[in-house]
Each structure stands twice: as C-alpha cells, then as structure tokens.
Amino acid sequence: MTKHLYDRIQVLEREDELDRQQRLKAMARPLLSWYEGHARALPWRDDPTPYRVWISEIMLQQTRVEAVKPYFERFMAALPTVQALAAVEDDRLMKLWEGLGYYTRARNLKKAALMITERHGGELPGSYEALLALPGIGSYTAGAIASIAFGLPVPAVDGNVLRVISRVLADREDIRQPSVKARMERELREIMPRERTSQYNQGLIEVGAIVCVPGGEPRCGECPMESICLTRRQGLWKEIPVRGALKKRKVEELTVCLIRRGEEVAIHKRPDTGLLASLYELPNVTGHLEPDQVPGAFGLSADLVEAVEPLPAAKHIFSHVEWHMAGYAVSLREGGEMNREGAFFFVERSAVKGEYPLPGAFKAYTKLI
C-alpha cells in the first residue's frame, strides 16, 4: 500500500468546523490505517494473551520499550503462567526483575497472581472492573488489558495518549491532574470504535511513542492526525501539553561500601517495607564519610581492615528521592568479621550475581563486584 491508506483519508475542514467530540471521532479512520502499517514488532504483540499483555504492561510502566524486551522474554520463559508467578519465591522473582526498577511492580504482580489463582481460577478476569481490583493495576493498565486481550471498548490513557489528545484538541489543561485524565477517558470511551479497540488504543499509544514524541519536536509530517491537530495548525507544540510542576525530590546522602573478603563480598537485606523493600544491597550508612570513619561506621575492627579505597561518587534518582552516594572499596583480611551482628553477611561473588537481587540504585558499585 503506497504511503498507506491514511494518507488518502486525512480529514479536510475549515478552521472551526469540528467541535471537540467530532475532532476526536475524526481520529479513528486515519489512526487505524496508520497503525496497520506502522506498528512496531514487539514480543508481547506476537501472542497477546491476557497474561502476556498484563506482564508487558506492568513492565512498561515508567520504562523504555527497548529496556523491557529482554526482561519480558526472560520473565516469560521462567514464569509462563499465572500459576508459576503465584508460586515463585520472592528472591527469584526479584532477581528476574533486577535492574527494571520500581520493584513494587513485581511484588504487586505476585499478589495479583495469588488473587487470580484464588478468585478467578488462574485466569485473568475479562472485565475492566475486575482487572481494576487487582493489586498494581490502575485505570490505564486495566484498559490496556481489557481492550488488547479481551477486545472490550475501554480506553487506555497513559502519558503518550494524554499528550496526543491534548495536542489534537489544543487542550491547555494540566495533564498531571487526575480530573483531566478521567475526562479524557470518558470522552474516548464514548467515541472509540467498538470493533477495533485493541488497534485503536495501541495506535494512540504508538503515535505518542514514535511520532508525537515526549521531550522533543513532534514528527507532524508522519502523524495520521496531522490534518485535524489544532496544536499543529497553531504551532503550539512547545506549549502543549501543559504539565504542572512536580514536587521537588528530597536529596539523601549515603556512603556505600564494597566490602571484600577474599572471594566473598558483603551484602545486606533491606527491611520488608519501604523503599526497595526486601531487596539486597551493599552495606551503606547515612551521610558522606571520610576514609578513616568507614571501619567504625560499618562495625569493622580496624586491625582486620587492609585497605579503604575511594570509589567514584554516584547518584540515583527515584520518583521522590535522590541518592547522592560516596563509595569505598574495603578489603578485609581473611577471617575478618564485623563487630555489629546482623549488619551484613558475606556471600561468594558469583552468588551475588546469580542469586541475590540487588537494585539498580547500586549499579555504579555492584558492577565492580
């Protein structure tokens, strides 16, 4: 199909001919035709079963598509069913998730799998309301699973869709406001084509991901909605969408130590609640320490410490917190132990890489193990 059908069905209109609902309705035909010819080949699209769609959508939250691909393939090979996910040990689950970040997503996956097993016979429920009741599933994810896996006429409004719709309508309301998202969900539910809901939702998301892109100039000449987009017509892409200011992140200073004893390295398990709950980490304390402060701060006998060598500073950004880290490599003599019981324990370096899930927040140091 030369230049694809959508090039021949662009909507022609006078400046003020279409009202808000009509403009939204006019998106469907060119969008669906464009998606047919431009959809990326992604592993979860090959076989869009409810389970595969669910896992992919959770992984894609706040994470780039290219980063998710290998994780998705590995996860599906290890845990191919709801039942396997419900039965997996926590440490194994977190190891599969290691590096993806936002680890609450993985914990909620297992909670939801247990609930699906107990209440829904091991199969994801085929209704929007039942999906929304599962841990870790909000309106967007419920809409994506309902429409893509079950063909239900429910919108899936994420950041990409908010940006696209705001620009098509030249809407200046703050897309970070829940009321704005809720209104767009209602409007799309009213006008979306009932027979092709999967393609419609994925088409909007795809346009936002590769055409009406975040953080840069949109590729309007490639967009199926170019002829009806008011932002394009009025040259407002730098102003729309409108995003309210985010709350400033809290900065926390840490000192992180890579403590080696022969072929072993020290790790610590974080508490069961709070940030990075139940994951393993390199020993760390609050504040930036000088080298001579390190042994005492980490409960190490000075006569057992062979060397304390500075490592490069590192920073990790969470959604609401920034960690600014100073690092040290600490070498212990064989048989060296800590003074404080329970602060950390030693494991073989190979075990750290193969068995214990360490979050990406410590990547600058764990890569040195």
Residues marked active site are found at 57
Q: For residue 77, give every residue at least 6 positions away whose Cβ sits within 8 Å of its Cβ, in sequence order, or none.
A: none
Let me know: does 135 contact 113? Beta carbons within 8 Å.
Answer: no
Taking residue 140's Cβ as centre, other Cβ atoms within 10 Å add up to 21
**19-25, long-range: CB within 8 Å, 24+ apart, which pairs?**
20/169, 20/187, 21/187, 21/190, 21/191, 23/168, 23/169, 23/228, 23/230, 24/165, 24/168, 24/169, 24/187, 24/188, 24/191, 25/191
Strands 284-286 and 250-261: antiparallel
3-state secondary structure of 325: strand
Structure tokens that stand for 165 in this block: 């719709």
Structure tokens that stand for 295 in this block: 């042994």
Phi, psi angle pair for 176, to nearest 5°: -85, -5
State CA 155 to chain mean position distance.
20
- β-partners of residue 300 are 338
Cα dihedral across residues 210, 157, 277, 77: positive or negative: negative
Let me know: does 86 contact 116? Beta carbons within 8 Å.
Answer: yes
Let me know: does 160 contact 204? Beta carbons within 8 Å.
Answer: yes
